[in-house]
Amino acid sequence: MGTTVFGCCSFSYKRSHPQLLGSNGFSRTRTRACAQVGGENGILKRRAALVSGISLISSSVLGFSGEGLAVVKQGLLAGRIPGLSEPDEQGWRTYRRPDEKSGGHGVGWSPIIPYSFSIPPDWEEVPVSIADLGGTEIDLRFANSKQGRAFVIVAPVLRFADNLGENAKLELIGPPDKVISAFGPEVIGENVEGKVLSTEVAEHSGRTYYQFELEPPHVLITATAAGNRLYLFNVTANGLQWKRHYKDLKKIAESFRVV
């Protein structure tokens, strides 16, 4: 279909008994107890060894420590499931979220509908950490140290209303000013009042997109809705990068599609 543009204006682990855990993740109290009776009962010795072995496997595979959790999460990211196309004649590639990529963002959520965007040469995927400011709602990051950064936030539409159904439309969530006022702070970390330089409404293949340019900080935001989620594609850069690469940054932002 044609394109119309309208100008306007993981697993969670809680340490319920932290006093039992040593720095290496083993249960100090349990180990000492087994050691005390081990001389009297060989069976308990074997059980203690078994418990220690399970503790080691749990610590390294399930990632009870913060670092371990990050490793487990990264093992499920698209970095292990390539989503980039071959470069075109200009070296640009298209990223499409792999169908096999994990991430439902919570029990009860439907799978994330794939999205795509174009990226210039030498931009690479950056691991998403559970410690990021956006938490589990940041689905993907890309960056180039000399040009800028891009990241995708996938947020529940239930923040606006509980009657939008399982196939929400951006128009039903609200007009552009409502959407950017509600979700813009997640992108820039502060209120967006007085920072929105321009707003556009575009339609691609029957889906509505809101496109915003904010300053400061320099950021381009493309928003749309699909399923029971709102998608925010954000492209940002520092002042020098913005001046030198604005054309490419704009092209990246405007290429975002939910497919």
Q: What is the 3-state secondary structure (H, E, C) of 107-124?
A: CCCCCCCCEEEEECCCCE
Superfamily of domain 84-258: Mog1/PsbP, alpha/beta/alpha sandwich (3.40.1000.10)
For the chain, give the percent of residues with pLDDT over 90. 50
Mean pLDDT value across residues 230-240? 97
3-state secondary structure of 182: helix
Q: What is the DSSP string of 59-107?
A: IIII--SHHHHHHHHHHTSGGGS--B----TTS-EEEE--TT----SST
The residue length of the chain stands at 259
Residue-range domain boundaries for the chain: 84-258
Q: Who has greater pLDDT, 98 or 24?
A: 98
pLDDT digits (tens, 9 = 90+) for 117-173: 999 999 999 988 766 655 568 999 999 999 999 999 998 888 777 778 788 899 988
The yes-or-no verdict on residue 13 having pLDDT over 80 is: no
pLDDT of 220 > 60? The answer is yes
Task: Note the pLDDT tens digit of each residue in 96-119.
Answer: 999 888 765 554 556 889 999 999
The mean of the pLDDT values for the chain is 75
Q: Residue 109's pLDDT is what?
A: 58
C-beta separation of 219 from 187 below 8 A: yes
More confident residue, 138 or 80: 138
Instruction: With a cut of 70, say whether residue 226 has pLDDT above it.
Output: yes
pLDDT at 78 over 50: no
pLDDT at 103: 62
Look at residues 186, 216, 208 and name the one whose alpha carbon lies nearest to residue 256: 208
What percent of the chain shows pLDDT beyond 70?
63
The pLDDT value recorded for residue 22 is 44
pTM listed for this prediction = 0.68
Question: What pLDDT shows up at residue 161?
Answer: 73
Instruction: Please determine, for residue 204, whether its predicted confidence score (pLDDT) is greater than 60.
Output: yes
pLDDT of residue 237 exceeding 80, the answer is: yes
39 vs 223, higher pLDDT = 223
b/e map of 203-216 (b: 16 or more CB within 10 Å)?
ebeebbbbbbbbee
Query: What is the three-class DSSP state of 143?
Result: strand
53 or 202, greater pLDDT: 202
**Residue range 204-233: average pLDDT?**
96
pLDDT score of 59 more than 60: no
